[in-house]
Amino acid sequence: QVQLVESGGGLVQPGGSLRLSCAASRSIFNIIAMGWYRQAPGKQRELVATIPTDGSTNYADSVKGRFAISRDNAKNTVYLQMTSLTPDDTAVYYCRLWEAGGDYWGQGTQVTVSS
């Protein structure tokens, strides 16, 4: 079992930036991958970005060039740096971890982009 705790969400103006953090309750060194998803009101949850154990990164087309995912194995933490935010980025953002035994989700953190 592993617990994931997201933080860093909040209210930001269009064009602004936020950095989300996802802290795992144990080492993420040998996991398969971690990633960020988001779910806007009335919409399905969608993949935002992933970072496998090899350190490569993958992004949804809608966030390419604006968001960056990274990980700090020493802190058991994955980050999502979000820039040039627009109202379309408003959603609850969830962290997900994949390992050989299954996958886990965090509780989510709200990001609201509004003037």
Q: What is the mean pLDDT of residues 93-115?
A: 95
Q: Are 60 and 44 in contact (CB under 8 A)?
A: no
Residue 67 is given by DSSP the state E
pLDDT score at 76: 92
User: What's the pLDDT at 28?
Assistant: 81
DSSP string covering 15-61, please?
T--EEEEEEESS--TT-SEEEEEEE-TTS--EEEEEEETT---EE-T
Judged against a pLDDT cut of 90, whether residue 55 lies above it is answered with no
- Note the pLDDT of residue 93: 98
Mind listing the pLDDT tens digit for each residue in 20-52? 999 999 888 788 999 999 999 999 999 999 999
Residue 102: strand pairing partners:
99
